[in-house]
């Protein structure tokens, strides 16, 4: 039997999912999030209507200076404004430096690191919750609702538009990536590794036991505790939201593959 009504506990350190995936799939996926931390709460007003003819990416020589951040942000907002009709996505697009933020999130996710510093605006409200049952401490499923907004927004995204936008800005993404990546490394390969991180997170339709460790909780199952920081953040979103995000990642992966195979 349940021995408590569900104790409220301190929010786990790093409980911002970098959504990453969220930003990863959402804001620029060429667009932007899991991914960790996740916006949950009062929707913000959508971004203003964009012109019918959005600005085009100007061809530049490989060694030419990168376009100004404001110019890239304007392009991405114009391209991605139709990716979702939800107001929350419009609010995400109002963040500054979208492409550099996206590149950083992808790089962190590919390494299994939390990109929380890049997506602090997606931090959930409320606290991580547990309940006790037969002497065990279990994750309280109602805590997953903190991430419902992110799951809903990511699930609503137009994968074709995301991939088309990515194809348009991927050269710029590669150049930003090379500013800190090893010489000769590929941003697109890093993006695929980030996808693999997301898809490797197990969807758990069962009670999840945790153990108190200082001010934090850790997973009782060694296999879950061995997941990367980014993966554990996604796991904390709950099975329903994780399925929505993984489904969108698979859809984007398929479209990327289809586009790459075209003559």
Residue where the block lists tokens 């710029």: 172
Check residue 20 and report its DSSP letter: H
CB 98 within 8 A of CB 171: no
- As a whole number of angstroms, the distance between CA 106 and CA 197 comes to 10
- CA-to-CA separations, 178 to 97, 116, 212, in angstroms, rounded: 17, 21, 41
Q: pLDDT for 102-121, tens place per residue?
A: 999 899 889 988 777 777 77
Q: Nearest 5°: phi and psi at 25?
A: -85, -25
Alpha-carbon separation of residue 181 from 43, 108, 124, 192 (angstroms): 36, 12, 30, 16
DSSP state of 179: T
Q: In this predicted structure, what is the pLDDT of residue 210?
A: 96
- pLDDT at residue number 259: 73
pLDDT for residue 24: 54
pLDDT of residue 59: 42
Residue 243 burial (CB < 10 Å; 0-12/13-18/19+)? middle
- What are φ and ψ of residue 90, in 5° steps? -60, -35
Size of the chain, expressed as the number of residues it contains: 263
pLDDT, residue 20, reads 39
Picking from 66, 111, 67, 75, the residue whose alpha carbon sits closest to that of residue 93 is 75
Q: What is the pLDDT, as a whole number, of residue 233?
A: 85
Global pTM value? 0.77
- 28 phi and psi angles, rounded to 5 deg: -140, 25
How high is the pLDDT of residue 25? 54
Instruction: Give the pLDDT confidence score for residue 257 in this predicted structure.
Output: 83
Residue 97, CA atoms < 13 Å, CB-side half-sphere:
8
Beta-strand ranges (E) seen in the chain are: 130-133, 136-139, 210-213, 216-219
Q: What are phi and psi of 8, to 5 degrees?
A: -85, 135
What is the torsional sign of CA 194, 195, 200, 203? positive
Low-confidence ranges of the chain (pLDDT < 50): 1-23, 26-61
- Tokens matching residue 121: 């605006």
Residue 172 CA to residue 127 CA, distance in Å, equals: 38
């Amino acid at each position: 039997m349940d021995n408590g009504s569900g104790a409220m506990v301190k929010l786990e350190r790093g409980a911002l999912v970098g959504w990453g995936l969220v930003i990863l799939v959402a804001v620029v996926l060429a667009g932007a999030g899991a991914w960790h931390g996740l916006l949950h709460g009062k929707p913000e007003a959508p971004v203003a209507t964009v012109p019918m003819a959005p600005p085009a990416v100007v061809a530049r020589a490989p060694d030419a200076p990168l376009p100004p951040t404001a110019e890239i942000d304007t392009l991405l907002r114009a391209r991605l404004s139709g990716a979702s009709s939800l107001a929350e996505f419009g609010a995400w697009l109002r963040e500054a430096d979208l492409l550099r933020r996206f590149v950083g999130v992808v790089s962190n996710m590919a390494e299994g690191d939390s990109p929380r510093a890049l997506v602090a605006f997606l931090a959930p409200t409320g606290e991580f919750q547990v309940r006790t049952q037969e002497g065990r401490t279990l994750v309280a499923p109602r805590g997953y609702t903190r991430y419902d907004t992110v799951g809903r927004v990511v699930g609503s995204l137009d994968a074709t538009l995301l991939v088309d936008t990515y194809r348009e800005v991927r050269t710029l993404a590669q150049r930003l990536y090379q500013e800190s990546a090893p010489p000769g490394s590929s941003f697109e390969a890093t993006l695929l590794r980030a996808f693999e991180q997301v898809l490797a997170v197990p969807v758990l339709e069962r009670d999840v036991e945790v153990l108190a460790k200082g001010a934090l909780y850790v997973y009782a199952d060694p296999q879950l505790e061995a997941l990367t920081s980014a993966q554990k953040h996604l796991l904390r979103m709950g099975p329903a939201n994780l399925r929505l995000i993984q489904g969108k990642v698979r859809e984007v992966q398929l479209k990327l593959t289809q586009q790459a195979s075209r003559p």
